[in-house]
Structure 1
Amino acid sequence: ALDPITREELQDKLLEIWREHRLTVLAITHEIDEAIYLSDRIVMM
């Protein structure tokens, strides 16, 4: 688990890396808000 500030910083960094390289990223999370923020597609199990 991460504190909220670190979580936001890492999410922003992940998006920055994705925008730069356009690679597929698989992220697994329990946080729906995080999934919505980071994704253009979501699959739920």
Structure 2
Amino acid sequence: MTSPIAAYDLGRIPYRASLEFQHRAVIARASEACGDAIYFVEHDPVLTIG
């Protein structure tokens, strides 16, 4: 049997805030403080080098 996956729409937030949220979500999931989830988020374009 499969477990349900929660879905959240975080809307449009700054890139840095979305990255910090992602890091906290990974830590919470790794410590089993929360279940599986998918997050929808939009941020302004960013320039990456490399």
Alignment TM-score, normalising by the size of structure 2: 0.48
Give 1:5's aligned residue. 16
Count, aligned residues: 31
Q: CA RMSD for the aligned pairs?
A: 2.3
Same amino acid, percent of matched pairs: 10
Q: Give the strand-richer structure, 1 or 2.
A: 2
Q: Which has the higher helix share?
A: 1
Structure 1 unpaired stretches of 5+ = 32-45
**5+ residue gaps, structure 2:** 1-11, 43-50
Greater RCO (CA < 8 Å, at least 6 residues apart)? 2
Corresponding residue of 1:21: 32
Question: CA separation in 2, counterparts of 1:28 and 1:10?
Answer: 10
Where has structure 1 moved over 6 Å in runs of 4 or more? Answer: none
Mark the structure with the bigger radius of gyration: 2
